[in-house]
Amino acid sequence: MSRVYNFSAGPSMLPLSVLKTAQAELLEYKGTGQSVMEMSHRSKEYEEIIETAEADLREIMNIPDNYDVFFTQGGGYTQFASVPLNLMNKNNKADYIITGQWAKKAFEEACKYGDARAAASSADKTFSYIPKTTREDFRKDADYVYICLNNTIYGTKYNTLPDTGDIPLVADISSCMLSEPLDVSKFGLLFGGAQKNVAPAGVVMVIARKDLLGNAMDITPTMLNYKIQADAKSLFNTPPCYNIYMAGLVFKWIKEQGGVEAVYKNNLKKANLLYDFLDNSKMFKGTVVKEDRSLMNVPFVTDSEELNKKFIAESQANGLVNLKGHRTVGGMRASIYNAMPYEGVEALVNFMEKFEKENG
Ligand SMILES: *Cc1c(COP(=O)(O)O)cnc(C)c1O
């Protein structure tokens, strides 16, 4: 077996030990004579899997009891519609901070359902920073303020949350979920697609303050109604059973690491290694202002398109794969999610050093 270091923005690496457990349990799950893939979602065995997954997620994220937690489908993108359908329910107004493609897409989707407004944006500098806001930037009667907490494409993240006063804050945490401690009580709602830090693509986790649910617009499709999904404990219809099982294994893996705090320490170590190299390199440079750098997605460039191409090809040949940057930024991007081992980042930095010597 020869596994590469996969720096893909998503779907991305899963912890090896999780894959091994899934492999060992693939044909027969714990003496049941069947695979989790074949199991009724109403069975006793599956009930335990999904309930444990939710309980473990609550534990590792320290989610307060006044929040509903459920697993749903449709990727992060479906949430761009679900959020306004469920939460733009008092004044039909919401304010969005545009920090990249994902926030922009969420904003555009919300415009279909009500009065969504872009309160701030960092589009002027290719989203290389997080715009500063104050309470005055938001409409007092907005039903919520929306942010994307970690911007997968541009490599920025919020280190300080916007002050929205009494207005509930909604955040897309698809690409930073469980990467560092997060105070859930500061948010009205959080959602995250699985394929970056949690599980194979196909499941989304929603964490919502209970008092905000139950007033969805009449046109809300039943499947997108948060209250219905939450009350049914993720079992309104057949859930993405196997993906939830995989998410559960990852939550257990996080507990084994020592929890989110321990995972965060490792993420800091990994990111610092790469950023320190970038800050001292003459050939490579990061594209994001220092104070807003993501721990998960690290875009970088050389000043030559030709060198970028050469680097991507040669790194790929050396078992460091998917380092090509997003088309709107160019250059390279290393996504170093929870499952990327420190050794993977070390291998990348060593390779960059060598490349710089040979081509500098
Ligand atoms: C990947 C990603 C999405 C989109 O997820 P899909 O599952 O492809 O719909 C949304 N938001 C962020 C921040 C992402 O990184």
Which residue bears the tokens 């050469």? 310
The H-or-E segment that residue 52 falls in is helix 44-61
Residue nearest to atom 4 of ligand 1 (CA): 76
Task: Indicate the top mutation candidate among 12, 71, 72, 77 to test ligand 1's pocket, ranked by most ligand atoms within 8 A of CB.
Answer: 77
User: CATH classification of 259-359, choosing from 3.90.1150.10, 3.20.20.70, 3.40.190.10, 3.90.1170.50?
Assistant: 3.90.1150.10
Q: How far apart are CA 343 and CA 138, in angstroms?
A: 44
User: Which residues lie closer than 8 Å to 292 by C-beta, 6 or more apart?
Assistant: 129, 130, 156, 157, 158, 159
Structural domain boundaries in the chain: 17-257, 259-359
pTM of the model as a whole: 0.98
Task: Say if CB 205 and CB 191 are below 8 A apart.
Answer: yes
pLDDT at 360: 85
Atom of ligand 1 nearest to the CA of 175: 15
> For residues 264 and 50, what is the distance between their CA atoms, to the nearest angstrom?
25
Going residue by residue through the chain, which has 360 residues, state the pLDDT in tens, using 9 for 90 and above.
Answer: 789 999 999 999 999 999 999 999 999 999 999 999 999 999 999 999 999 999 999 999 999 999 999 999 999 999 999 999 999 999 999 999 999 999 999 999 999 999 999 999 999 999 999 999 999 999 999 999 999 999 999 999 999 999 999 999 999 999 999 999 999 999 999 999 999 999 999 999 999 999 999 999 999 999 999 999 999 999 999 999 999 999 999 999 999 999 999 999 999 999 999 999 999 999 999 999 999 999 999 999 999 999 999 999 999 999 999 999 998 889 999 999 999 999 999 999 999 999 999 998
- The residue type found at 107 is F
Fold of the 17-257 domain:
Aspartate Aminotransferase; domain 2 (3.40.640)
Q: Which atom of ligand 1 has the smallest separation from the CA of 100?
A: 13
SS3 86: helix
For 296, the enclosing helix (H) or strand (E) is none
Side chain identity at residue 119, one-letter code: A
Q: Which of 68, 95, 143, 172 is catalytic?
A: 172
Asked about 102 being catalytic, the answer comes back as yes
